[in-house]
């Protein structure tokens, strides 16, 4: 059986562990809330983080085009770029997946040496995902600075138009 097939079969269990590990980055009260509340609107952070993880996982398995991984990373990182996460803290979550997969598939990996080679390849792809993540995180931080500037202009945009300046061209 190929690694991808196994990962697809164990998707629910692996994703749940990955998600729980991600939630554990928050204080305990928050982590337990993130896990408990199922409504996506009453618990938006959990919902969007979970969606992001699901998407990245599917892309790793080749179920979604690789180009989508940036958008999936953004799902997670746009939240952490405004929360208390430094870049290294924000990107660590990608690496959480490695030990989780190894643990979950421990038996199979022992039994089938061919799987290990596949796993090494997948792990190296994960490293690539993390590197892309740095770009995504940085773009979000840049977006925040842009917003500060554009909001300053927006505050007097009517006035600018009054004097014949188009605020969007500034």
Contact positions vs other proteins (CB under 8 A):
21, 25-30, 33-34, 37, 39-45, 47-48, 78-79, 82-85, 88-89, 92-96, 143-144, 147-148, 150-152, 154-159, 161-162, 167
CA distance 15 to 54: 7
Q: Which residue has the tokens 């409504």?
A: 39
For residue 13, give Cα distances in angstroms to 9, 10, 20, 66, 138: 9, 6, 11, 23, 31
Q: Which is nearer to other proteins, 110 or 153 (CB)?
A: 153
**Cβ distance to other proteins smaller for residue 121 or 146:** 146
Smaller CB separation from other proteins, 31 or 112:
31
What's the Cα-to-Cα distance from 38 to each of 12, 16, 43, 139, rounded to whole Å? 16, 14, 7, 30
Q: Give the tokens for residue 126.
A: 């994960």
CA–CA separation, 156 and 159 (whole Å): 5
Report helix, strand and coil shares of the chain as percent, to nearest 5.
80, 0, 20
Least distance (Å) between residue 162 CB and other proteins: 5
Residue among 116 and 157 whose Cβ is closer to other proteins = 157
43 or 70, CB closer to other proteins? 43
Find the shortest distance in angstroms from Cβ 17 to other proteins. 13
In angstroms, give the least distance from the CB of 164 to other proteins: 10
Shortest distance, position 132 Cβ to other proteins, whole Å: 16
CB of 145 to other proteins, least distance (A): 9
Contact in structure between 108 and 2 (CB atoms under 8 Å): no
């Amino acid at each position: 059986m190929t690694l991808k097939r196994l990962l697809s079969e164990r998707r629910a269990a692996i994703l749940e562990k990955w998600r729980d590990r991600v939630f554990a980055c928050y204080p305990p009260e928050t982590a337990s809330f993130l896990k408990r509340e199922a409504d996506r609107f009453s618990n938006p952070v959990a919902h969007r983080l979970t969606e992001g993880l699901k998407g990245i996982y599917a892309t790793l398995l080749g179920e979604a085009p690789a180009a989508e991984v940036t958008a999936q990373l953004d799902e997670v990182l746009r939240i952490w770029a405004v929360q208390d996460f430094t870049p290294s803290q924000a990107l660590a979550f990608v690496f959480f997946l490695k030990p989780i997969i190894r643990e979950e598939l421990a038996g199979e990996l022992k039994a089938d040496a061919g799987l290990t080679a596949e796993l090494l390849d997948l792990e190296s792809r994960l490293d690539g995902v993390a590197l892309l993540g740095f770009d995504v995180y940085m773009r979000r931080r840049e977006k925040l600075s842009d917003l500060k500037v554009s909001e300053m202009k927006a505050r007097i945009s009517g006035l600018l138009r009054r004097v014949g300046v188009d605020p969007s061209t500034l």
